[in-house]
Amino acid sequence: MAKLFQHGTLAMLVDGLFGGTLAVSDLLKHGDFGIGTAEGLNGELIILDGAPYQALADGTIRVIGDDELLPFANVNSADFEGRAVLSDIEMKDVDATLAKELSYQNTFVAIKISGTFRTVQTRVVKQQERPYPTLSETASKQQVFNAEDVRGTVVGYYTPDLFHGAGVAGMHLHFIDDQHEFGGHLLDFKADQVKLSWQLLDGLDLNLPIQDAEFMAHEASDAEKIQQSISESE
């Protein structure tokens, strides 16, 4: 069995703790499949077959360097155990479709969807400078991208509601196309026929940056404020 490795928390991002505290090379020791963001909330990461791609707000995608630092990321060692073909599917139906296959609501699940998508909409957060704003203050700076008839892969996780704030509850999915030219945080997709793969994870391996003085001294927002800020950012 494998756990979901997570560096940082959503609550830290909500409060504007965007400083990088884990090197890409260290993240990749914990898995070859995943998502995240880079220092300063610089774009959306997609880790696929061990390669870490960074979708930037200017619409380009690069391979991020091994020594670049990340404030937040999720990875696992991919070993998909279940597969299903999804026909005439859109993003909002993924939860219910997976629920027909198995009970997964109480644990973490790695999700991969691959094939040709009729439409894909992503958003990419924009790099921030210190002093960092809060996450909800960055929402107006996000770039939204659309593609049609694109071959690619959805990469992400399901997190149980109980862990919202620590992680991102529900489905948290990123996208990258096969040409590595289009990607980001997935807002929506429609597809005629794509392949869904899943892997149940038996826990959370959460890593906190306790060597980071800013994190350790930070006065965290209370749970209610975090919840509200997350709603405003979505």
CA atoms within 13 A on the CB side of 1: 11
How far from 196 is each of 66, 81, 85, 136, CA to CA, in Å?
A: 29, 11, 6, 31
Looking at the Cβ atoms of 149 and 161, the one nearer to a copy of itself is: 161
Residue 79's CB is within 10 A of a number of other CB atoms, namely 12
Tell me the closest approach of the beta carbon of residue 64 to a copy of itself, in angstroms.
23
Angle at 5 between CA 41 and CA 157, to 5 degrees: 75
Looking at the Cβ atoms of 9 and 128, the one nearer to a copy of itself is: 9
Secondary structure class of 9 (helix, strand, coil): coil
Tell me the closest approach of the beta carbon of residue 214 to a copy of itself, in angstroms.
10
Tell me the closest approach of the beta carbon of residue 67 to a copy of itself, in angstroms.
20
Q: Which two tokens stand for residue 134?
A: 């809060």
Tell me the closest approach of the beta carbon of residue 197 to a copy of itself, in angstroms.
17
How far from 63 is each of 19, 43, 113, 121, CA to CA, in Å?
A: 20, 12, 21, 21
Looking at the Cβ atoms of 133 and 160, the one nearer to a copy of itself is: 160
Looking at the Cβ atoms of 42 and 172, the one nearer to a copy of itself is: 172
Please tell me what DSSP assigns to residue 16: T
Looking at the Cβ atoms of 69 and 187, the one nearer to a copy of itself is: 69
Q: Which two tokens stand for residue 160?
A: 């149980």
The residues binding a copy of itself (CB under 8 A) are 1, 3, 9, 11, 103-108, 160-166, 200-211, 215-220, 222-223, 226
Looking at the Cβ atoms of 166 and 187, the one nearer to a copy of itself is: 166
* DSSP-assigned beta bridge partners for residue 113: 154, 196
Tell me the closest approach of the beta carbon of residue 12 to a copy of itself, in angstroms.
8
The Cα diameter of the chain in Å comes to 50
Angle at 57 between CA 27 and CA 172, to 5 degrees: 50
Tell me the closest approach of the beta carbon of residue 207 to a copy of itself, in angstroms.
5
